Amino acid sequence: MILLVNPRATTWHYRIPLSVLSIGASIEGKFPYEILDGNIDPSLHASVLQRIGRGDIRYLGITVMPGPQLREAILLSRRVRQSYPKITIIWGGYFPSLHAAVTLQSGYVDYVVRDQGDLSFQRLITALEQGGALDDIPGISSIGDGTPRDNRAQGIVDPNSLSPLPYHRVDVRRYVGRTYLGTRTVNYHSSVGCPFVCGFCAVAAEYKARWIGLPAQRVADDLRWFKTNFNVNAVEFHDNNFFTSERRTAEFSERMKGMGIRWWGEARPDTMLNYDDRTWASMRDAGLAMVFFGAESSSTEVLRLMEKGGTQTGDTVLALVEKMRRYDIIPELSFVLGAPTPTIDADVENDIRFIRKVKRLNPDAEIVLYVYSPVHFEDSDLYKAAVQYSFSYPKTLEDWLRPPWSQHDLRKDPSAPWISKSLRTRIRNFEKVLNSAFPTISDLKLTPGQRTVLKSLGRWRYRLGLYRGPMEIMTAQRLFRYRQPEVEGF
């Protein structure tokens, strides 16, 4: 009856498709459904058409985040609409949640489930099956009379109120793989949302400063189950902000000691700098290996424009990377360069100088460079500033198949009229030299010899601050198929 699809999003380490598995959990035992994952099925489109061809599928649910997965979802939906026009196509996930109207106007998406779909999807199917009213189902967008229409928003859904994930619906063994963290790494989502409203973040645009986590015991018990059944020795927490609650983190760390599992998660610098030293020691002893932080910018002005909130400043990040060196836990810092300000060139130069300072304080710190790529967060000061610099989104879904929109959300070369070509080149060249001088620890396929080559090409340039025209570095990185963790994860 229902086919849930995760279009291809990665060619590297596969992760359990938690988005569609969560929707599966919400209809388990209520409606018959199957899951197909483009990450492990290279001929997904053929598999979907073949499955629909058997005649008992009425609904196709597709999870869509921006980037290459969006392309896959557009091509697949178009094909299904052409071959099986009676199939109801429903999109969910970050892209349609923030771009519902343009998605529905495509003509090959009938409904959008915005934000968390755990309650709204099953209510939509029930109403469509039993002819109920659709207007009062929160979180649904539709285009019945040709005009896109958003029902009222779906407030945050407490993950503690939801059914456990039906892992039997996927072959977990296919998703447990080797990463920098361990030889048998699994992914897990232990909380929803984030308590902050940073203007460049799609999560903030959806959850509006709400965060709810599963209790530490539940998370530890679930990981013990993965260890017992799949011999897992590492976990990637896909939470947007795993470390929001120190109390939960401290209890979780106590419960993880002796489990032999290394872990990674995402956090805010100010939140974790304020953690007690005993919590730090406990996290280290519990296997915490690396933490991803939103450092964003060294400028207090830019952090204010980003509505980063909290107490975060550049000094917060410097103190944090020093502290983490003492606990032998690696900080992975992401920066968002190129925010729309009159001082943009100086801001970028300051950030480059700041990143060099970070590397002096902690050479093991991993650096991720993003270029500000507006997400559809209309209430944010940052988005308003982008609009003042004449930023606007494309008018049709098909436009997202073509540059600059096809790579807009990869956050490297976005459609951002205020960022000059020379500044983009400056950022990209600095990134190339930085990654060569300090190749990421997470690219497992790099041999010691290749690392030595990259370092010898990068270190002298980095020392002299010579970033212009790094052709030799680009050639070596292409030759070694250098892998940046921010593109497809570990």
Binding site for ligand B12 (CB under 6 A): 6, 9-10, 15, 17-20, 22-23, 39, 61-63, 65-69, 90, 92-95, 98, 113, 116-118, 121, 189, 201-203, 238-240, 375, 409-411, 486-489
Helices and strands per DSSP (H, E), number in the chain: 19, 15
For the CB of residue 439, give the shortest distance to ligand B12 in the complex, in Å: 19
Taking the CA atoms of 201, 374, 95 and 130 in sequence, report the sign of the dihedral they define: positive
Spatial contact of 232 and 258, defined as CB atoms under 8 Å apart: no
Cβ closer to ligand B12: 27 or 318? 27
Spatial contact of 370 and 412, defined as CB atoms under 8 Å apart: yes
Cβ closer to ligand B12: 100 or 113? 113
- For 409-438, give the DSSP string: GGTSS---TTS-HHHHHHHHHHHHHHHHHS
16: its two tokens: 């359990």
Q: Which residue carries 């990450």 as its tokens?
A: 39
Cβ closer to ligand B12: 89 or 453? 89
Cβ closer to ligand B12: 348 or 369? 369
For the CB of residue 67, give the shortest distance to ligand B12 in the complex, in Å: 3
Cβ closer to ligand B12: 270 or 409? 409
Phi, psi of 28 (to 5 degrees): -55, 125
The span from the CA of 448 to the CA of 350, in Å, is 32
Taking the CA atoms of 385, 388, 391 and 396 in sequence, report the sign of the dihedral they define: positive
Q: Which residue is nearest to ligand B12 (CB)?
A: 92
Spatial contact of 150 and 125, defined as CB atoms under 8 Å apart: no
For the CB of residue 3, give the shortest distance to ligand B12 in the complex, in Å: 10
For the CB of residue 250, give the shortest distance to ligand B12 in the complex, in Å: 22
For the CB of residue 341, give the shortest distance to ligand B12 in the complex, in Å: 21
Q: Which helix (H) or strand (E) holds 60?
A: strand 59-63
Spatial contact of 264 and 236, defined as CB atoms under 8 Å apart: yes
Spatial contact of 49 and 79, defined as CB atoms under 8 Å apart: yes
For the CB of residue 284, give the shortest distance to ligand B12 in the complex, in Å: 24
Taking the CA atoms of 44, 45, 48 and 51 in sequence, report the sign of the dihedral they define: negative
Cβ closer to ligand B12: 62 or 437? 62
For the CB of residue 279, give the shortest distance to ligand B12 in the complex, in Å: 23
Q: Which helix (H) or strand (E) holds 448?
A: helix 448-464
Q: Which of 103, 102, 79, 101 is nearest to 90 (CA)?
A: 103
For the CB of residue 406, give the shortest distance to ligand B12 in the complex, in Å: 11
State the helix-helix crossing angle for 421-437 and 471-479, rounded to 10 degrees: 60
Cβ closer to ligand B12: 474 or 487? 487
For the CB of residue 191, give the shortest distance to ligand B12 in the complex, in Å: 9
Cβ closer to ligand B12: 67 or 470? 67
According to DSSP, residue 368 is labeled: E
Cβ closer to ligand B12: 443 or 461? 443
